[in-house]
Chain A
Amino acid sequence: MDILQQLNSAPVYLICGLIVAFVAAVCVVFMVRAWRAGIAIGMDKTKMKRAITASATFSVLPSVGILLGVIALSGSLGTPWPWLRLSVIGALHYETQVAQAAAEQVGMGTLSAASMTPSGFATIALLMSVCIMWGMVLSVFFNKRYTRKLGAGSGEGKGGGFGDLAMTAMFIGLVSAYIGSYVGGFVSGGGLFTFGGDWTPLVVVAAACLAMAGFMVLSEKKKMAWLDSFSIAGSMIVGMAAAVLAGAMA
């Protein structure tokens, strides 16, 4: 049995599947508790349903993108481990980088099934877990203290202060950093001010932006409020379609 067959064997699927099932159960528990608490404090059920619908539609396309990460890593690490990593705790941009760095550290040179050994795999898998576990560790020790200090989740806040605006500003900063990186990638990605870098992300941003503007007009001005729950997913589809067109033109 070669290494990929071993990594794709039933016992490995079982180990990874049990952990994924545990985390899915945790999500269900948190969801049910939040729903019940929402009703107990008098929240509007329609609002909660809307949040669930919007979050579900929002998450489908990024999840398919994450699935591609599983496929990409499955050639060297088998399917169950990347499936576990990207279902639980992992991050798409992180896994490949750390797996590659770990492969170099265990003397494999490059991450590939050809040079993978059972010990190499176990070492890489452990390193991937150790490197990204700190957010969870910090949550265990500091989430309670931190959220109470901020007043978030205490239920005592009335909202509407600077905290709310600060969160919006932080998110604007996040989006600006990424869009700035696409601008920089295009202008200087192929050499300083050569405008020879990848322009596809900028086309995608513009297309998704325009589509969102269209959705907002429809939902706000044409009284089609139900569209709002699908506006992000719809805009993303338009943006991704623009990427396909840009790819065909390139």
Chain B
Amino acid sequence: MNETFERYNRRTHIIGRAVTVATLIMLLGAPFCIGGVLGAMPDLGAVARAFLSVGLVWTVSSVVEFLVYTPMLGAGGGYLAFITGNLINMKIPCAVNARDMVGAKTGTAENEIISTLSIATSSLVTILVLALGVLLLAPLQPVLQSPVLRPAFDNVVPALFGAMAYRYYRRNMDIALTPLVLMSALFIFVPSLTGSTSFMVIPSGGIAIAIAYLLYKKGRKGASN
């Protein structure tokens, strides 16, 4: 089994790197191609200035996302998730949910396979929904943007995290309570931080991991979800 999986894994890295580089080239080349169609090229000076003012924050965010989420996603899932995006609001919960549902454990071949299947499926569904949505944009736009349905689509992420919260909190309240209380208090006293919630995931996750480690060391917590 190990040899078969090792061969699969080696090929995953080769294919993953190749398609990531190809996607990068296409994404960076597209603005120039579209510029060619429009008869104007990007202003590289403005891009450099804008990158220094807004891009550095996103660069730091990308590094943090890579370090934090790659262990959750595995090798194949990692390549795919960083190519297809929407990590926090879709790919991470999706992969974690699939892993949990079939009982795959971190670091196993099973986890790697399930994570890759999950992220590939999720990405294909998004691509399909967006393609259909773009195709049917004219009839769909008034429905999706109607004032009645608007609150529903503004709250997709709270709905997702509400559902996931029950699933994960119910067996791990001893881990969840402290970060939940601390984060609530932090956002209450510094409400401006709500614009940086994705960054606050790091201390929140750090606290949860530290508590989990203490419980694990004391033997009060197993590895099950």
Question: Can you report 22 residue pairs joining A to B where beta carbons are below 8 Å apart?
Answer: A11-B37, A27-B127, A34-B120, A55-B98, A59-B126, A65-B156, A119-B35, A119-B40, A125-B31, A125-B42, A139-B70, A143-B13, A147-B75, A152-B70, A153-B111, A154-B6, A161-B223, A176-B176, A176-B208, A192-B189, A243-B155, A244-B148
Q: Which residue of B lies closest to A117 (CB)?
A: B40
Which residues of chain A are near B164, meaning CB under 8 Å? 171, 175, 232
Interface of A, secondary structure class, is helix
B112 close to A119 (CB less than 8 A) = no
> Whole-angstrom distance between the alpha carbons of A134 and B141 in the complex?
33
A218 is an interface residue with CB less than 8 A from chain B: no
With contacts A118-B38, A133-B28, A139-B20 taken as known, whether A173 is within 8 angstroms of B209 at the C-beta atoms is yes
A169 contacts partner chain B, Cβ-Cβ < 8 Å: yes
The reply to whether A172 and B168 contact each other, CB–CB distance below 8 Å, is: yes
Q: What's the Cα separation between A244 and B156 when bound, in Å?
A: 12
- Of the candidates B33, B58, B134, B197, the one whose C-beta lies within 8 Å of that of A181 is B197
| A160 to B: closest C-beta gap in Å | 5
Interface size class of B (residues with CB under 8 A): 35 or more
Asked if A109 is an interface residue, CB under 8 A from chain B, the answer is no
Q: Tally A residues with Cβ within 8 Å of B.
A: 168
Known: A176-B176, A187-B188, A231-B163. A92 touches B62 (CB 8 A): no
Q: Flag if B50 contacts A106 (CB, 8 Å).
A: yes
| Cβ-neighbour of A127 out of B13, B55, B166 (below 8 A) | B55
**Which residue of the partner chain, among A81, A179, A216, contacts B165 with CB atoms under 8 Å?**
A179
Q: Are A136 and B23 in contact (CB under 8 A)?
A: yes
User: Among A50, A151, A168, A239, which residue has its beta carbon within 8 angstroms of that of B159?
Assistant: A239
| Inter-chain contact A153/B24, CB cutoff 8 Å | no
Asked if B116 and A139 sit within 8 Å, CB to CB, the answer is no
Contact A84–B19 (Cβ < 8 Å):
no
Flag whether A115 is at the interface (Cβ < 8 A).
Answer: no
* Binary per-residue interface labels of chain B (82-119) against chain A in the complex, 1 for a CB within 8 Å, 0 otherwise: 11111111101111111001101111111111101111
Binary flags per residue of A207-250, CB closer than 8 Å to B gives 1, else 0:
11111110010000000000011011001111111011011100
A131→B72 CA distance, assembly (Å): 23
Are A6 and B38 in contact, with the CB atoms below 8 A? Answer: yes
Is the beta-carbon distance between B114 and A158 smaller than 8 angstroms? no
Proximity string of chain A (118-157) to chain B, C-beta cutoff 8 Å, 1 when within and 0 when not: 1101110111011111111111101110110011111111
Report the bound CA distance from A5 to B83 in whole Å.
Answer: 29
**Does A67 contact B129, Cβ atoms closer than 8 Å?**
yes
**Whose C-beta in chain B lies nearest to the C-beta of A95?**
B85
In the complex the two chains form, what is the Cα distance from A146 to B15 in whole Å?
A: 17
Contact assessment for B205 and A170 in the assembled complex, using a CB-CB cutoff below 8 Å:
yes
Instruction: With A37-B4, A164-B223, A239-B163 as known contacts, state yes or no: A58 contacts B83, CB within 8 Å.
Output: no
If A42-B1, A155-B2 touch, whether A205 touches B131 (CB-CB below 8 Å) is no
Report the nearest B residue to A158, measured CB to CB: B108
CA distance A37 to B8 in the complex (A): 7
User: Given contacts A54-B101, A88-B23, A139-B66, is CB(A185)–CB(B154) below 8 Å?
Assistant: no
What are the residues of chain B within 8 A of A229 when measuring CB–CB? 101
- Residues of chain B contacted by A51 (CB below 8 angstroms): 98, 101-102, 114, 117-118, 121
Question: Chain B residues with Cβ under 8 A from A111's Cβ?
Answer: none
Interface: A114 (CB within 8 A) = no
Q: Measured between alpha carbons, how far is A24 from B130 in the docked complex, in Å? A: 12
Whether A166 contacts B47 in the complex (CB less than 8 A), given A40-B4, A181-B193, A181-B197, comes out as: no
Residues of A within 8 A of B221 (CB): 165
Kindly name the residue among A31, A42, A127, A176 whose own CB sees the greatest number of chain B CB atoms within 10 A: A176
Report how far A123 CA is from B38 CA in the complex, Å: 12
Pick the contact of A182: B21, B125, B134, B158 (CB < 8 A): B158
Per-position binary interface string of chain A over residues 164-207, scored 1 when its CB falls under 8 Å from any chain B CB and 0 otherwise? 11111111111111111111110111001100010011101111
Residues of A within 8 A of B222 (CB): 160, 165
Docked complex Cα distance between A218 and B96 (Å): 21
* Interchain CB contact (< 8 A) of B149 among A42, A159, A164, A244: A244
A238 contact set on B, CB distance < 8 A = 159
A153/B75 contact (C-beta < 8 A), A51-B102, A131-B59, A240-B155 known: yes
